[in-house]
Structure 1
Amino acid sequence: MIGISGPVFRPGDEGYDAERRGYNLALDHRPALVVGAVDAADVAAAVRHAAEAGLGVAVQATGHGVSVPTDGQLVVSTARMDGVRVDPVARTAQVGAGARWHQVIAAAAPHGLAPLSGSNPDVGAVGYTLGGGIGLLGRRYGYAADHVRRFELVTADGRLLEVTAESEPELFWALRGGKDNFGVVVSMEIDLVPVERLFGGGLYFPGESAAQVLHGWAAWTRTVPEEMSSSIQLIHYPDLPVLPEPLRGRFVAHVRIAWCGGRAEGERLVAPLRELGPALVDSLRELPYPECGSIHHEPPMPVAAYDRNTALRELDAAAVDTLLTLAGPEAGAPVILEIRHHGGAYARTPRVPNAAGGRDAAYMLFSTYLVEPGRLEEIRRVHGLLHDRLAPWGTGGSFVNFLGIDDTGADRVRACYAPGDYRRLAALKAERDPGNLFRVNYNIPPSELR
């Protein structure tokens, strides 16, 4: 393609399949073009070409945020734009569109600093941040989006624009939470925080203790300071030799801990959890921040996953009992369940407000499962029932970064934002992208098209 330095892939080309596939294989995308951008000029040329050809634009760095099929559309792959530069004096990092969190973590760590990264360091930093960004330090520092200083953005007309709170206040507000609805972010400047080490890891309890552990964890979360982030996962592990022997083939309640404080205080705070029963594995320890991925130890290989999420305002005993009935060890359901503790800094409006939703949530309920041949309808039904039954404890909202392949409808996307914020986003979309060029995503259509 004219004006593009990086590789361009079409169906049938060598490398096309590898380039189009992301982390989540639940959708088998068949875009008309995949542009392997190497710089902002490539991105701008690709956007102009899409506009001229009448193609929608999708953006993919790692492919963790699968949304809608890209069939017949144009995908801008930013994976090659993965530069990271740290300013230890200003405590900031300049992050390229394709950089993964582990790259940012590695660049910041020698200076005693850390980004507000997620539970999986292999996730793309920019896409995560555009969706708000829920991470291991979030209850202490807030969303990753709360700590962005600047974006470089390719807009719908193919221009490269610097976006800050001063230069483009409305667009700066929208990008921090509105995902990729307003253009292609080619780099961002973010704050780093003075965190070198965590006290963290996991407590893995046997399935027969799941009820006691889930009830105990829910009560415990109402007592801890905001420097303590935690979640709990209910999972039936496969019987595979790659797993620790005590976990193979067992239903497990896995409590994840990330305390950004000293070990002694962390040990004191988690003592009530250890008293819930004997653990199969106790991996809690003081660890350098670059090892933070070991806390959740999420699978590094691509998988086909079905995801749903619901923002919860509370998690009382009745809610816990409902969860156990539908996804506990006796349910035998095709569900891997996770509940993340929110509140703390997540609930506070940042110094420079943004569009990130879910500040009224006390917890996030997330369910996932590997999509197996012939089981999608069963998985869809079971997960739908789970989230419908927990609706009485919900806020009515969801989190955009945790949406799945069934969450592309207008109502699901709208639920990720406060009503006034959604209207504001749609109005800005009508101003900045009236033709909805950036529509191959969890889309916020221009207000006049709704």
Structure 2
Amino acid sequence: MATHPAAVVAAANAQDVVEALNFAAANAMPVTVQATGHGIATDMAGALLIHTGALDECTVDASGDGAGTARTGAGVAWKAVLSACEGPGLAALCGSSPGVSVAGYTSGGGIGPMARTFGAASDKVVSMDVVTGDGVLRHVTADSEPDLFWGLRGGKGSLGIITALEFELLALPRIYAGALYFGTADVETVLRAWAQWCPTLPLAATTSIALMQLPPMPGVPEPLAGQFTVAVRYVFTGNADDGASWLSPMRSAGVPLMDTVGLMPSSMIALVHADPEDALPAAEGSTLLTDFSTAAADALLEVAGPDSASPQLMVEIRQLGGLLGQEPEVPSAVSHREAGFSLYTVGVAGPPELPRISEHSSGLQAHMSPWAYGGTLPNFSAGTGNAGFAASYTAPVLERLTALAGQFDPDRLFRLGQVPAR
């Protein structure tokens, strides 16, 4: 696939985006967008790439009742929002990585480290400024344009380019959070214990588990480098003593190499997953699961455990459900809310080795098919084209998005990677 666009526009403001889309329409060029580089289309042959990194507005408004709102431009990453929230003691429904853009993450729904407790990031959106495919800059709210507001929250760039958005913040100055890391000898026991522990958790807890093979390199803690480990990630939004009590079965499931779980400012939530921010050549894969039993844990160990010769840098299972499983008061295009867990793989290697990693990921997903829910999530299907886009939605949602795309993108400018065929 061609990873180089025909031309790049570095937008300085929303009007630049309008003019770029009008140019693309006049010249029959497909359009793709980039802010931080996450989720960009892999096939950009003949495309106009609009870079929104300069749209860097970031303001936080703390209300008198302890909550607040934020307004961010399309180029703003979550780390800027977290920093602005620290003073007033607010929390944002960010992703696991602070280097991801707010707009790109939220347009895909946004399933983060507190999703079970508070739902998807898109559920908290108040308004969006977006340039639709017809070249019109619109201020979109649930009242002003309800159909477009529905589609922009979860539709992942299929209807327009978001230039700014406003969303609610939470009155949550501190969280009990972090990760437990265990060595190779404890991987099987910990994974099975996690599968049994998840169904017992209250709404205040969100957790995930990751099988990891981290290389010895700068930034990787010495106890984890060069060996097969398992990480239990945990965020508890209630009382810290209660959080510790709920976590105790996992603390005793093995002998932790590292225990980073404790009371921390909610602005430091990125420490829970400790995702790398630097760009790396990687192959990713994802799917959704109905449940994750001990039998599912055993099956995963067969293809991704210490004795499997797995080439994956990380294989992650996230528990879903909770508030995420409920449709918000103002419905959105976010689909598959009934899924119980998500499965995500990522392998890092030189480009010639990436197909082999992708092939292993596909085989891993097939091996887990007895627990398959079907489909995936928009933010986990980067580079998978129209098939990946379609798998992110139910048939009725996809049909509605397709109709909206016909209305707001008549020239099919957003046809690369994340636009339903029509």
Instruction: Tell me the CA shift for residue 38 of structure 1.
Output: 1.1
Q: Does 1:46 align with 2:23?
A: no
Instruction: Tell me the CA shift for residue 28 of structure 1.
Output: 6.8
Q: Which residue pairs with 1:424 in the alignment?
A: 400
What percentage of aligned pairs have identical amino acids? 38
Which of 254-263 and 239-248 deviates more? 239-248
> SS of 1:246's equivalent?
coil
- Find runs of 4+ consecutive structure 1 residues off by over 4 angstroms: none
CA deviations on 1:92-151 (whole Å, 9 max, x unpaired) are: 111111110111112222222111101111110000000000112211110001111111
Q: Does 1:57 align with 2:57?
A: no
Letter in 2 for 1:80: A
Aligned with residue 143 of structure 2, among 160, 166, 171 = 166
Q: Does 1:347 align with 2:321?
A: no
Q: Normalized against structure 2, the TM-score is what?
A: 0.96
Letter in 1 for 2:258: V
Q: Is the 8 A contact 1:338 1:366 kept in 2?
A: yes
Instruction: Tell me the CA shift for residue 169 of structure 1.
Output: 0.7
> SS of 1:350's equivalent?
coil
User: Following the alignment from structure 1 to structure 2, what is the Cα–Cα distance between the partners of residues 38 and 392?
Assistant: 49
Q: Which residue pairs with 1:260 in the alignment?
A: 237
Which of 153-162 and 336-345 deviates more? 153-162
Cα RMSD (Å) of the superposition? Answer: 1.4
Q: Does 1:366 align with 2:366?
A: no
User: Following the alignment from structure 1 to structure 2, what is the Cα–Cα distance between the partners of residues 61 and 217?
Assistant: 36
Aligned with residue 55 of structure 2, among 57, 81, 100 = 81
Alignment of 1:1-400 (within 5 A): 29-89=3-63, 91-240=68-217, 242-335=219-312, 336-400=314-378
Q: Is the 8 A contact 1:68 1:442 kept in 2?
A: no
Q: Is the 8 A contact 2:12 2:52 kept in 1?
A: yes
CA deviations on 1:239-266 (whole Å, 9 max, x unpaired) are: 2354222112110011111111222111
User: Following the alignment from structure 2 to structure 1, what is the Cα–Cα distance between the partners of residues 133 and 92?
Assistant: 29
Distance 1:86-1:377 versus aligned 2 partners, 3 A rule: closer
Q: Normalized against structure 1, the TM-score is what?
A: 0.90
Instruction: Tell me the CA shift for residue 161 of structure 1.
Output: 0.8
> SS of 2:256's equivalent?
coil
Q: Is the 8 A contact 1:139 1:343 kept in 2?
A: yes
Instruction: Tell me the CA shift for residue 270 of structure 1.
Output: 0.7
Distance 1:242-1:191 versus aligned 2 partners, 3 A rule: closer
User: Following the alignment from structure 2 to structure 1, what is the Cα–Cα distance between the partners of residues 99 and 173?
Assistant: 19
Can you give the 5+ residue segments of structure 1 that lack an aligned partner in the other structure?
1-26
Aligned with residue 433 of structure 1, among 397, 401, 409 = 409
Letter in 1 for 2:40: V
Q: Is the 8 A contact 2:32 2:40 kept in 1?
A: no
Q: Is the 8 A contact 1:205 1:280 kept in 2?
A: yes
> SS of 2:352's equivalent?
coil
> SS of 1:187's equivalent?
strand
Distance 1:272-1:177 versus aligned 2 partners, 3 A rule: same
Task: Tell me the number of residue pairs that the alignment of Structure 1 and Structure 2 aligns.
Answer: 418
Q: Is the 8 A contact 1:306 1:404 kept in 2?
A: no
User: Following the alignment from structure 1 to structure 2, what is the Cα–Cα distance between the partners of residues 35 and 87?
Assistant: 31
> SS of 2:38's equivalent?
coil
Q: Is the 8 A contact 1:233 1:339 kept in 2?
A: yes
Q: Is the 8 A contact 1:241 1:248 kept in 2?
A: no
User: Following the alignment from structure 2 to structure 1, what is the Cα–Cα distance between the partners of residues 216 and 125?
Assistant: 42
